[in-house]
Amino acid sequence: MKRLYTTALIGAGAVVAWLAGSLLGLLPSFPGTGGNGDGEKTPSETEVRAVAPSDPAPKSERAEKLTGPLEVTIRERAYYIDGKTVTISEIAERAKSVPASSHIKVVIVRDNTSRAEAELDLANALSAKDLVFEMKDRAGSSER
């Protein structure tokens, strides 16, 4: 029985040592533990802010450099991206430029005035093009 506890303690100690090493950037890390998986520490949020330009790129340039899902807001029967009205075909085209690392290509945000018909039209068009999407209410709850 004593041997079982000793083995468990040694195993737990090894895991703690590995995590500490990955947090310090000395060892390869697990996702979400602070390293980048190569044993190198990823830059902190403050380091990223210090390097980021003070004047962000214009919205037209930012739309082309998507790093995550495309966010589309539905108000009444109209679709909006960054406050500009767009068509379903434009949404589908822009969604194709979402990086492959993002499983969900489009996040549909339903305003409290959105119409079910507009939601279904967009959902059907995205499904027909095999684009994965997620629907969220303005309050933040979501469904897939």
Cα distances (angstroms) measured from residue 104 to each of 69, 95, 136: 6, 10, 13
Q: Is 57 exposed, middle or buried (0-12, 13-18, 19+ CB in 10 A)?
A: exposed
Cα distances (angstroms) measured from residue 65 to each of 16, 54, 100, 101, 114: 39, 17, 13, 14, 28
- Give this prediction's pTM: 0.51
- pLDDT at res. 79: 94
Backbone angles phi, psi at 63, to 5 degrees: -65, -35
- pLDDT at res. 84: 94
Q: What is the pLDDT of residues 53-89, one digit of tens each?
A: 544 455 544 445 667 889 999 999 999 999 999 999 9
- pLDDT at res. 48: 47
- Both structure tokens of 142: 């979501």
Residue with more model confidence, 129 or 23: 129
- Both structure tokens of 20: 């500490």
